[in-house]
Structure 1
């Protein structure tokens, strides 16, 4: 692939050792904005995805990403908090962080707090105070509590004077293009403080090994492996305290502190750029076949008269349908989030319906966009007395 962007430096380490690994033209530039009509959804702006791989540090990112196209606002509906499985994970994670880092009576700052649920959990369970930043924060989604402040804005250098005992940044770093600059800014804001930072991001090694093209979309301009994430933080003055996988192997959870002296040894979970290179090569050579197989399967379902629904209207669902170019083969997308009911999928315009609609529609097949929710979905289908084949991506 001969892209002029390949001459640019890596935003993680600055090296110019970049290789093209995947491209998709015409991706919706947002996946979680509420689209009020099919027309608005189909005509929503699109951008290109051109993934580059840095052979120096292992970082993967969208070379064509344009932050000016992004529209983070109160129309974003990204929360996973309507899932019991997710809530159990969030509560367990909050409890673990509180115990591991003594977060009792402390002040916590969260960058990219979404609707504020996780920050509220940390404060409620540990008796902490907190301040959260997110342009998509919506007032009134849960009862306000003393000691909690939310600012509907991006966290930036103008807020660097705020002090905190613990900094949280969940599912946000992958939305930031200039990752090195961002992490350097956080390290600078800490100064001589010993505050711990906690980051949660998707694990790109799972994406490339599973050929999970539905996990590649425009908002996610940055993709991390355990090794590339660790190298990013060490390069900008952090020492890695802990790094692990969770949520069915989908997330990387990193804890780090400002570096003092020599860095600690590499962790077993960290791979080298050369090791990641092998997986990236496999992905580049095989992902087109995976896309073709899914496209063929859905078209065969349609020809056979199967009623098929997608379960999960978030970014995975949008990327799945958009990449495959699926239109009439599927009519509906199901989601448990009541705020998404009656809206439409960006790019393809599929209508989003609540789970109870499935009892009326009686699908033959359900394509589940996230296998961790299989138990929940099967319980829903059982409750609705719907016997459908459940396929996980």
Structure 2
């Protein structure tokens, strides 16, 4: 394996989760008796440039041609996108004569707020089914994977963008250099690029091993993101730290010729990374042992619940949940089923572990003792939304960053008057 950023071959093991199926390849009932392919899930760090990466065993076409994830089903994520649009419009003084492009625009959850403001925009979304949902809600969307050639074509057709948004996609591209060239092709020579991506510092510090899955080809510090963006002639000038996905960074980049000096808060994040050892190879060790400890902790809880006759079901069927379920070897004998708001997943089964996925209404019917929350990064939103399970004494279980069994937020009592 060669580093996809610098080309060196000196890659060091950081986390080995064994072999698992692709995390978004949910099974239909007809597929349960068929073989299911699995692939190694082995995270490595380049000893030269420190880019943390997975081998590209699955192509983006395999994952994203038809995709099971629709962003609009997360209330907090839609609100996050609306806040970003408002802040970006204010920061960059965008108006009716501006042009904004979002790469990996999903179902239009973000660009719908841009359309509402009367700002010209375009979504670039590789998944045909998800892009169709965006167009149905009035968001102009082009179905394509971004690279240097497609970026140049879209620039020639629509003009350069004042702002290019790439939220939670920079980790999903095996051709990192080609994708970065595509970003540069899209943006105006005096324009801006905003990238949100999970922060490797949070991943390691909070033991978020379940966020490692095949469609994430690399994980970034600000330092490694600087090196990656520089391959396309782009320079990071500002960084925001965000709570999303358990701890993310928002990188603000510009063409190097107009970038200027980095902000004070960017320098502060770089200093925090350095202090944590993330700018050295040694700072990347110990992740495997932390994942193993969490695995044992969760399995002990589930086994004790099964022995005592208590019912445990899941909430959510995110990609990260499938990494957790497969690494821990959790199957329907320990987790009877999981529920999800996305109707696309109803009646299907989780990859590898083959746990049924049902509609959320099933929780109130079965009244389980425990609900294992697989999208633990939405803790605040889901603790409130699932407050009704407290009506029968149900409790929520959060597996990361440590096992936490909690009572849900009580629902307000309505007056009978």
TM-score (norm 2): 0.83
User: Deviation string for 1:322-351 (max 9, x for gaps)?
Assistant: 111111111111222233222221121111
Aligned match of 2:343 in 338, 344, 363?
338
User: What corresponds to 1:109 in structure 2?
Assistant: 101
Cα distance in 2 for partners of 1:64, 1:83 equals 28
Structure 1: unaligned runs, 5 residues or longer: none
SS at 1:97 equivalent: helix
Instruction: Assess if the C-alpha contact under 8 Å between 1:103 and 1:128 holds in 2.
Output: no
User: What corresponds to 2:378 in structure 1?
Assistant: 373
Instruction: Assess if the C-alpha contact under 8 Å between 1:55 and 1:273 holds in 2.
Output: no
Alpha-carbon distance, 1:278 to partner: 4.2
Alpha-carbon distance, 1:196 to partner: 1.0
User: Deviation string for 1:367-390 (max 9, x for gaps)?
Assistant: 212344334333343335342221
Aligned match of 2:73 in 49, 63, 82?
82
RMSD between aligned residues = 2.6
Q: Which has the higher helix share?
A: 2
Instruction: Assess if the C-alpha contact under 8 Å between 1:119 and 1:132 holds in 2.
Output: no
Cα distance in 2 for partners of 1:286, 1:372 equals 18
> After the TM superposition, which residues 67-216 of structure 1 pair with which residues of structure 2 at under 5 Å, given as runs?
67=59, 70-74=62-66, 76-105=67-96, 106-125=98-117, 127-136=119-128, 137-140=130-133, 143-145=136-138, 148-159=139-150, 160-161=152-153, 162=155, 163=159, 164-187=161-184, 189=185, 193-216=189-212
Cα distance in 2 for partners of 1:96, 1:208 equals 29
363 and 373 in structure 1: CA distance in 2 versus 1, 3 angstrom threshold: same
Cα distance in 1 for partners of 2:188, 2:110 equals 27
Cα distance in 2 for partners of 1:223, 1:167 equals 20
Bigger relative contact order (CA 8 A; separation at least 6): 1
Structure 2: unaligned runs, 5 residues or longer: 400-417
SS at 1:24 equivalent: strand
Cα distance in 2 for partners of 1:185, 1:60 equals 22
Matched, 1:22 2:15: yes
SS at 2:78 equivalent: helix
Alpha-carbon distance, 1:286 to partner: 2.9
SS at 2:24 equivalent: coil
Matched, 1:236 2:245: no
The more displaced of 200-209 and 135-144 is 135-144
Cα distance in 2 for partners of 1:65, 1:368 equals 29
Q: How many residue pairs end up in the alignment?
A: 381
User: What corresponds to 2:363 in structure 1?
Assistant: 358
Instruction: Assess if the C-alpha contact under 8 Å between 1:209 and 1:279 holds in 2.
Output: no
Instruction: Assess if the C-alpha contact under 8 Å between 1:309 and 1:365 holds in 2.
Output: yes
User: What corresponds to 2:308 in structure 1?
Assistant: 304
55 and 28 in structure 1: CA distance in 2 versus 1, 3 angstrom threshold: same
TM-score (norm 1): 0.87
Cα distance in 2 for partners of 1:34, 1:362 equals 25
> After the TM superposition, which residues 248-287 of structure 1 pair with which residues of structure 2 at under 5 Å, given as runs?
248=244, 249-260=246-257, 264-265=261-262, 267-270=267-270, 271-272=273-274, 275-276=277-278, 277-287=281-291
96 and 69 in structure 1: CA distance in 2 versus 1, 3 angstrom threshold: closer
44 and 120 in structure 1: CA distance in 2 versus 1, 3 angstrom threshold: farther
Alpha-carbon distance, 1:366 to partner: 1.5
